[in-house]
Amino acid sequence: MGKNWVFLLVAACLYFQTVGAQSSSLLSNVELPGIVFKNPPEWLKKSDLISIIDGIKTRTGWNPENVVVQFYNDPGLYGLALQDARLGGTPAWGFADSSKNMIHIGPQTRARDFKLLFSHELGHLISWSLFHGSMADYLEEGFAEWVAQNPNLSFSWINQQNKTIDPRLIMDAMRQGGASFDIQYRYGLSYATVLFLANKCPDLIGVLRDSGGQNLDKLLADRCQTPFFLNSFQLWLNEMAFGSGRPRY
């Protein structure tokens, strides 16, 4: 059974602005090859969806199959969906349930926020479809942000936090309840790591697929001609933070 991946409101402070209530006007379902949008709001445009999905397909090589995107106008119904996914009480704007190949979009989402939120949650479904759990856990949120092509990552902010820049340690600390490793930093560091891999590795998808079962230093040396992950990542992060380089998204 797949995992439930959540785009958390507390993490979104790095990426989104506060949103208001969703419009109550709903349209008929929007259907595209392999994906259906149920109860969409009036601002949702089919042409925009085609553009978003085509871009994601080009970057990842993924094709949608039996994906359902459910919009909610009623906070109560959305709350029931969160409870059904065992996410009750989570301040999530939306979430992806890979066990059902489904994305749930909460009622507070508006047009200006939809692209990043939808693309991020779709990234979680794509992760399960492409990797079947073989990608390293610490890259999951970063991969979803890479799929979304989120432009709002601040490399200088990451550098200024005075925390470990090793994403593997971040995940270990969070599993042990390490409060200092906050969600916002975890998302940012994971995303920066995936961008680093995208800039160093010709076959990003292949490297991500094998990242859960291989030593990262050996994987990068063999596949990306980049030895010593942590040292190489720190140097690259400094270049991005101090403006001497620009990442390839």
pLDDT tens per residue, range 144-192 = 999 999 998 999 999 888 777 888 887 665 555 444 457 788 889 999 9
User: What does DSSP say about strands 35-38 and 102-105: parallel, antiparallel, or unpaired?
Assistant: unpaired
Tokens (6 digits) for 14: 């790095």
Give the number of other CB atoms < 10 A from CB of residue 41: 20
Q: What are the phi and psi torsion angles at 241 (to 5°)?
A: -70, -35
Q: What percent of the chain has pLDDT over 90?
A: 65
**Measured between alpha carbons, how far is 60 from 134 in angstroms, rounded to an integer?**
16
pLDDT over 60 at 20, yes or no: no
Q: Is the pLDDT of residue 245 over 60?
A: no
The dihedral formed by the CA atoms of 211, 121, 69 and 13, expressed in degrees to the nearest 10: 170
Residue type, 82: L
Q: How far apart, in whole angstroms, are the C-alpha atoms of residue 1 and residue 218?
A: 30
pTM summary value: 0.84
Instruction: Work out whether the CA dihedral 231, 236, 241, 244 comes out positive or negative.
Output: positive
| Digit-coded pLDDT (tens) for 177-189 | 444 457 788 889 9
Look up tokens 């969409």; give the residue. Answer: 40
- For range 36-43, the mean pLDDT: 96
- Whether the CA torsion 128, 133, 134, 135 is positive or negative: it is positive
Of the two residues 177 and 241, the one the predictor is more confident about is 241
CA angle 225, 226, 232 (to 5 degrees): 165
Give the lowest-confidence range in 19-33, 45-59, 103-117, 161-175. Answer: 19-33
